[in-house]
Amino acid sequence: MQSILSVSQVSKTYGSGHKALDHVDLEIRRGEIFALLGPNGAGKTTLISIICGIVTPSTGTILVDGHDAIRHPREARSRIGLVPQEIAVDMFSTVASTMRFSRGLFGKKPDQAYLDQVLKDLSLWDKRDAKIMELSGGMKRRVMIAKALSHQPEILFLDEPTAGVDVSLRRDMWKMIGKLREQGTTIILTTHYIEEAEEMADRVGVINKGQLLLVEEKAVLMKKLGKREMDIALVEPMTAVPVELNEWHLSLEDEGHRLRYVFDAQAERTGIPSLLRKLADLGIGFKDLDTSKSSLEDIFVDLVEHKEASNEGAVA
Ligand SMILES: Nc1ncnc2c1ncn2[C@@H]1O[C@H](COP(=O)(O)OP(=O)(O)OP(=O)(O)O)[C@@H](O)[C@H]1O
């Protein structure tokens, strides 16, 4: 599939000397939902800002639907809608006029029917004539999304979309993202909330300390790196894990009522049969066994920690 966004060898060193991005390569497919996952300070906002022409990269090139974002920023930018982390609008304008103005800035012909639909989708219809300063924080965030969609962008960037957002806005946002995807809009969201990536994304990129550690189909990533957990509900609670069980590295949970075993779902030997035999040998009875997949969160933490450990190893 043809890329709608192509990021090639993009690095950014800020004036302070801080290297926020380090040779990032990324291809975004038309129509996908891509989650860029990384802890605070990983470089997510810097990358978005570069793609949107707000920050100049130190090196590298960016093509937005074939348009060079550095040499032809207007062409590139008009294809992008950006919902930034911070609320940035003219507080004295009304919701509807903000949207019309924003659409005009990108050189699009007026289309009130389209703007009205966006207002309705975001539950802003009743507020269309309100001044933005009169709205609640959640409503202001809705306005930011409406504004970003005003010029019918092909790519929508959502920078930390649900940070500090209430349940109803989150729900509306997911609905809206689903609808946009059906219409063929490409969506890129940055987040450090793993559930967000897990719920919505087709592919996930993990960034840490300015480096893109991996880009993978979400399903493949979860399968490849996924661990499973087995919870063993004990008949009799215990105060400590018996030394005979050391090799399984069990943890004691729920005030001694449960043993938890974490194993690699992909491994040839899970260690479960031998663990169960050992429990029987030791006369440890259990009422129930329950296995569950670990979440993308566990995978993410594993990955970042593993990378950090190997980097430290390289320095040492
Ligand atoms: N204008 C700037 N000048 C100097 N350093 C900056 C500037 N903007 C960002 N940084 C630094 O670059 C690094 C990456 O920041 P960035 O905002 O891109 O991270 P992020 O992944 O978006 O994090 P967050 O989720 O906290 O927004 C951070 O260490 C940050 O302090």
Q: Is the pLDDT of residue 156 over 60?
A: yes
Residues 252-305 have pLDDT tens digits of 999 999 999 988 766 778 888 899 999 999 999 999 998 876 666 666 666 667
User: Ligand 1, atom 12: nearest CA belongs to which residue?
Assistant: 20
Q: Output the six-digit token pair for 33.
A: 């939902």
pTM, two decimals, is 0.76
User: Ligand 1, atom 2: nearest CA belongs to which residue?
Assistant: 14
Residues 183-226 have pLDDT tens digits of 899 999 988 776 677 778 999 998 888 999 889 898 887 666 66
* CATH T-level assignment (fold) for domain 3-223: Rossmann fold (3.40.50)
User: Ligand 1, atom 4: nearest CA belongs to which residue?
Assistant: 14
**For residue 220, how far is the Cα from the chain centroid?**
16
Tell me the best of 22, 40, 160 to mutate to test the pocket of ligand 1, counting ligand atoms within 8 Å of each CB and taking the most. 40
14 within ligand 1 shell (Cβ under 6 A) = yes
Domain boundaries, the chain: 3-223, 227-293
pLDDT reported for residue 148: 95
- What does the alpha-carbon distance between residue 164 and residue 188 come to, in Å, rounded to a whole number? 19
CA–centroid distance, 308 to ligand 1, in Å, is: 19
Residue range 29-49: mean pLDDT, rounded: 91
Instruction: Assign domain 227-293 to a CATH class.
Output: alpha beta
Q: Output the six-digit token pair for 121.
A: 């989708």
Burial 279-306 (b: 16+ CB within 10 A, else e): beeeebebeeeeeeebebebbbeebbee
Q: What is the ipTM of this complex?
A: 0.93
β partners of residue 281: none
Q: Output the six-digit token pair for 84.
A: 């930034």
Q: What are phi and psi of 263, to 5 degrees?
A: -135, 160
How crowded is the C-beta side of 189, counted as CA atoms within 13 Å? 28
163 within ligand 1 shell (Cβ under 6 A) = no
40 within ligand 1 shell (Cβ under 6 A) = yes
Q: Output the six-digit token pair for 316.
A: 């040492």
